[in-house]
Structure 1
């Protein structure tokens, strides 16, 4: 009886152990295959062959050893503009409402500042020093999280980063400046938006009537851009609980909505949806954002950053 018992235990546990080992080996093999493929993407990006890089990424999309996360983020319905609408689906919104309100308030304050002709010194300090940073290193950490928020949201919504930059510690020590930026494929329309804005400002041209410019970009592109550009602001609030207040991102998103001819009520509705959608994406993928920020802080390549995202993603978090 004793021998039979041990024999049975061994025969039943061995297949399970073997299955785990095989599963781990498959994952390791897929990770290696993915990294090799992403090196090709990096080579195309370095040569500015952006279309070729995007083609490679799309070929890897959703395949074993490929990219599960690219363009696969779960999103809330476009008609949704309130967290209360998520309650029937079982989502706990109690902890998110104050976060969404804070982000919308940051957006509003930034727009008000940009539109005001005269701003007092105390108001400027309130906007730029809110939650005051104690050191450049803290500013650098916020910049890392900010750019990681852009990168992750854009990638998960199907926008491929072309390149990015972050101030390094040497620059901080020498110049005392903190900065960063990231460029995506698919947002080339921003050049036209900027040109129109400059002409209107310099030539005092009247702004187009509501709706006159609609159709210049698709609603899908607008939604992807809106959430991607909000990713930095949302990441700051998630990680630090506040945002410094002045955002070129906010001005750029507002300019695009004006360029599209959105009326004020439409801007409010679109913005609420975009903030909710972006918050839920980044809350769902906090570990990926954190690891991505570390990689970007080390100036890893775009392909290496994508690999970090893919290695961290939980398949259950992605849309099937």
Structure 2
């Protein structure tokens, strides 16, 4: 009888111990054992979370059971919709702050008569701006500044003055400064190639490149990466105008059109090239592309060509003066 009593007492003590100190199964206090294995990878569900508010008591009462949502692991890199929205708003605020700072800086430059610095800042702002009305406002100001900085005989940081010496010709001067004589004539408002000793000519200082944007049907002339002139364009139908970086290979006045249907001389109603042709160097799979004028000015601003970029004749004639062999042309969406 005594042995039976001892056994009952021992069993009772063991049970009390197990109740007060449950075995650690390797799981945590989160309930749903069917999702514990995948909890790190799945979207968070509500869980039962046990907490013990008593300082020296391992017993968990019913009042200590609460429902909670497991928060995503920060290291997992998962963004909640709220976080994405917050980050987008922060980016928008940063863009507005940068835009506001740029406009303030531009105003300060203009007040101090620093038109060159203002033009460069405006150029950066133009390409960063997405609102069409604001872009037009910026473009109008850029045109106003470039009329003096680039397209006049007034000295500027964009250019230098060269004094003609005996034996000089426009071709020799253009070759000396890696430009083309048409551009020198255009900048200096010359209608003839005659020059005289001692005459001072304004020469643009830097690299001219062309940026074609298919998304808004524009061709922009850049000098050292800054906006100096823009023209409206027409592009290829059915996305035939390729994207990429091209290089000018040749320039033709009153070009002949070698079309898939035949050869058409300049002036032929079937010749759609207009008054100028600026051809690109061929690339693998891309042959015969270039920039030209048009006999159909109503197609400017539309996708109507076979893949080339077309401008109004008066615009392509002006562009013709600014580009030369090896001028870089970037075509983007």
Using the size of structure 2 for normalisation, the TM-score is 0.23
Q: In proportion to residue count, which structure has more helix?
A: 1
Q: Which has the higher contact order (CA 8 A, sep 6+)?
A: 1
Q: In proportion to residue count, which structure has more strand?
A: 2
